[in-house]
Structure 1
Amino acid sequence: MAIKVPPGQSPPFETVDGDHHAGIIIIVSAICLVLSLVCLLIRLYVRFLLSPPFGIDDVILLGATVSAVVESIIVFHAASIGFGTAIHLLDDHVVRSIQNSVVASDVFYLITLYLSRCCVVAIYSRLTPRRRHKNTLWGILAFTTAGIVISVLVITVDCSLNKPWVTPREHCTSLFARWQFITAIDISTEIALFIFSVVLIYGLQMAIKPKLVIMVAFASRIPLVAFEAVRLSEFQSFTSSRNPTFDAISHYTWTQIALNYSLIACTAFCLRPFMNAVTTSYGTAGESNLSTSYPYASDRGRSNQGSYALQSLQNRSVAAPEPDLFRPKVGAGETTVTSAQPGSSTGAHSDRDERNSIGSEGSTKMIIKKDVEYTVHHSPNPDH
């Protein structure tokens, strides 16, 4: 039944009723896409102003965002021609067009998830200098690369896209089993990445609280596992539907949520310098380099891309103590050494020592740095 529009008002862009749900997928896709683009702008802001230059993970995330935009455009196009409308209201050639658009959006959905995982692998690779860790990351990357190739073939090969849907499982045999296999690969990869992050953080000698803060950022992709599981559950009811153009909206809503959340989670690693700049410097970097403010950074592991490598602190034998630098010679007079905190007034010439701690070595360099001002007064010995 047509909606009666009051005089002077325009009809709604989309109608949501018992036969039309296209408005739902349009709204969800638009909101999710805007959030992904905002997160991309945050990452660009951090890389341009706070922590340049660009790394390979930033380039990969940019490619993943482009893929997500293309996927959203395909969904918008499908909704404009009838996706979300009851199938009995559509012609066969329209159903075929929707069918092709849905398959294309599925392909870009898988590509976007794959690129987001590649972005996480690139981030982890920048954080660790250990060859064993890098080999593990290469193994995860090879597994997810093989998974994306197989997944695309699974959803496109041996499916009758040249005829309209009757029921999805009749048009493509074992359709739900195929997506079960694809989702299992995706979830396995996400769990492997999370386990790797736990191993990466476990070996660091630092307080529990900073470790938990780091783990929250690394665990930001865990909700993606739940989103994909819910999507698969909704997809199961879709495969036996006699009204697929209408009933597909439910699982495609979760598709948009999972796809865009995978991009948003990649920005979690950049939120600390961004929030520091916004809350303390009104959006500017200030006088300090926010990219070097992390407590788990090591100067020795710094790469040419402005990032720091995580390194475990190993117990080492204590180095031989350095000779006293200000020990007076016998009979030469009396020496008084006083130390003052930075910023205190001593009334004498002060020299700030900016060197590393004496006796520090290995991955402990530049982690703990103390500024001390020394004032030395020398007076002749009255006994001589």
Structure 2
Amino acid sequence: MASVGDAVDVTRFSPITEFDKAGIVWILALLGGVYTLLTLFVRWFIKRDTFGSDDWTFVGTTLFAVGAFLPTYIALSRGLAKSESILSERTLITIGRIGRPYLTSQIFFILTIALAKCSVILLIRRLFSLDMESHRRWCHIMLVVVSVWGLASVLALSIDCGPRQVLGIGGSFCSNQYLRWQLVGAFDAITELLTFCLSFALIHRLQMKLHLRVRVILAFVFRVPLIAIAILNIHLVQGWTTSLDPGVAIAAPLVCQLVELAYSLISATIPNLKSFLMSFDTAWMMEVGTSSKPIPYSNQTPPEEYQLDSFPNSPRHAPGLSGLRIDPEHLTLRPESLEHIAAVQHPASERTGSREGSFASTNSRERIIRCEHRWKIQYGQQPQDGS
């Protein structure tokens, strides 16, 4: 006679027992899918007006993540993460129906991790100003390294590894299965560490307060746990490949990979949060407009001077603050009712290419952390009309 506990197990969507760990994988896979879509929505909401190459790469990353979760759902519904002893004889004969979607999910898992790294690298490159060529060159090198790692990892896991052998059913694994994952995981951790090191270049020789430097590093320090997760996955794969019941043991590395997948997307979005972006932008998100009209109050003005826009009379709002309320004290330059006009002058001997590079960023909404130029500032005071 069946016990009450057995009756309850039958009614569950995926019972978790000693011989069936699919329920644990289901929980992580469903949560990971939800967090992945929420992360994309959050990123779009924050940067919907300033979408760049890093954001579009993240959109592709999310699509690949969905491509990793969906085959996992299919494989779980067909018997993944269950012991051979509870699988039907028909399932064991057609074990490829489980192995094919599982192998597909592994390929998309690697590609998603690689694209998430590329998204972070592109964000770091976006923060460098155009004249910081050496730093941007390192970003390009890292993009190539990560791309090569992603493609090589996909080939390493799929070559000479069929749908049946990839699961290790019957104790028959793909040749050098553990070695493959060792190489994939090791380079995963190394590339993640190198990507994190790029963030230190953002504050190198940069004149800013200590708490802002710390905030910049904290924006990318959330990627560091991925190094530990990659190393943990190698250890769990070793336990799976040496287990007497690989059908159940596969649940541990699979859960670890799902956690890495979801957390990789979340940590790639954290640096885009507004509190961190305020640290990146030395202008504190303010867009200062410029105009090239001549300055009327001086006949001694050199031909290469450009007048900056004046502050409006109303102290409640300033141009380019995107609705932020600013304390009027920070906008009042003097108590007198005077119009403040500023002129920016630079030596005529500067190279034309450099000057054009500066013009290219005029009214730009890019988050440029630093742009080193030498400027001579002249300002004059002129009574307002009617005063």
Q: Distance in 2 between matches of 1:17 and 1:373?
A: 80
Alignment of 1:325-364 (within 5 A): 350-353=337-340, 355=342, 363=371
Q: Does 1:88 align with 2:85?
A: yes
1:151-162 equivalent positions in 2, closer than 5 A? 151-161=153-163
1:239 corresponds in structure 2 to: 241
Distance in 2 separating the partners of 1:269 and 1:148:
23
- Taking the aligned partners of 1:356 and 1:179, their CA distance within structure 2 comes to 61
In structure 2, what is the equivalent of residue 252 of structure 1? 254
Contact 2:165 2:174 in 1 (8 A): no
- Over 3 Å counting, the alpha-carbon distance change for 1:88 and 1:123 in structure 2 is same
Show CA shifts across 1:224-244 (max 9, x none). Answer: 001111111111000122322
Q: CA deviation at 1:67?
A: 0.9
Aligned with residue 56 of structure 1, among 47, 53, 62: 53
1:238 and 1:248 in contact (8 A); partners too? yes
Higher mean C-alpha displacement, 29-38 vs 231-240: 29-38
The Cα offsets for residues 165-191 of structure 1, whole Å up to 9 and x where unpaired, read as 555874311111111111111111111
Q: Which amino acid aligns with 1:64?
A: T
Closer, same or farther in 2 for the Cα pair 1:135/1:164, shift >3 Å?
closer
In the alignment, is residue 271 of structure 1 matched against residue 273 of structure 2? Answer: yes
Supply the distance in 1 between the matched residues of 2:112 and 2:133 (Cα, whole angstroms): 28
Alignment match, 1:308: none
> Aligned to 1:267, what secondary structure does the other structure show?
helix
CA distance in structure 2 between the partners assigned to 1:159 and 1:70 by the alignment: 20
For residues 150 and 133 of structure 2, the distance between their equivalents in structure 1, rounded to whole angstroms, comes to: 26
> TM-score, length-normalised on structure 2?
0.71
Summarize the Cα distance change of 1:114–1:365 in structure 2 as closer, same or farther, 3 Å threshold.
same
4+ runs of 1 displaced by more than 3 Å?
1-6, 160-170, 293-296, 340-346, 354-359, 361-366, 371-376
**Residue number among 198, 201, 209 corresponding to 2:200 in the alignment:** 198
Match 1:223 to one of 197, 222, 225: 225
Q: What's the C-alpha RMSD, in Å, of the aligned pairs? A: 3.6
Q: Which amino acid aligns with 2:149?
A: G
1:89-108 equivalences under 5 Å are 89-90=86-87, 91-108=91-108
CA distance in 2, matches of 1:197, 1:204: 12
- Residue-by-residue CA offset, 1:113-135 (whole Å, 9 max, x unaligned): 01101101111111112111121
Q: Is the 8 A contact 2:103 2:166 kept in 1?
A: no
Aligned in 2, Cα 1:268/1:163: closer, same or farther, shift over 3 Å? closer
**Which residue number corresponds to residue 121 of structure 1?**
121
SS of residue matched to 1:83: coil
Deviation at residue 258 of structure 1 after TM alignment: 0.5
- Does the C-alpha gap of structure 1 residues 363 and 61 become closer, same or farther in structure 2, counting only changes over 3 Å? closer
SS of corresponding position for 1:54: coil
Is the 1:167–1:241 contact (alpha carbons within 8 Å) kept by the matching residues of 2? no
C-alpha separation in 2, matches of 1:258 and 1:244: 21
Q: Among the aligned pairs, what percent are the same residue? A: 23
> Who is 2:19 aligned against?
19
Residues 234 and 357 of structure 1, relative CA distance in 2, 3 Å threshold: same
Q: Give the superposition deviation at 1:266.
A: 1.1
Partner secondary structure for residue 266 of structure 1: helix
Partner of 1:73: 70
SS of equivalent residue, structure 2 residue 15: coil
Matched position secondary structure for 1:353: strand
**Runs of at least 5 residues in structure 2 that lack an aligned partner in the other structure:** 288-328, 347-357, 359-369
Q: Structure 1 length normalisation: TM-score?
A: 0.71
> 1:341 & 1:244 partners in 2: Cα distance?
66
Which residues in structure 2 correspond to 1:285-304 (within 5 Å)?
Answer: 293-294=278-279, 296-297=281-282
Whether 2:185 is the aligned partner of 1:188: answer no
Q: Quick check: 1:112 aligned with 2:97?
A: no
Is the Cα–Cα contact under 8 Å of residues 83 and 247 in structure 2 kept in the other structure? yes
Residues 60 and 169 (structure 1 numbering): CA distance in 2 closer, same or farther, change over 3 Å? farther
Counterpart Cα distance in 1 of 2:342 and 2:16: 68
Q: Deviations over 1:294-330 (max 9, x none)?
A: 464369xx9xxxxxxxxxxxxxxxxxxxxxxxxxxxx
SS in 1 for 2:273: helix
Q: What is the match of residue 179 of structure 1?
A: 181
Per-residue deviation, residues 264-285 of structure 1 (Å, max 9, x unmatched): 0111122125x9xxxxxxxxxx
Deviation at 1:204, TM superposition (A): 0.8
Q: Is the 8 A contact 1:166 1:242 kept in 2?
A: no
Structure 1 CA distance for aligned equivalents of residues 231 and 127 of structure 2: 30
State how many pairs are aligned: 311
The alpha-carbon distance between structure 1 residues 351 and 24, as it changes in their structure 2 partners (threshold 3 A), is same
Distance (Å, rounded) in 1 between the aligned partners of 2:170 and 2:229: 22
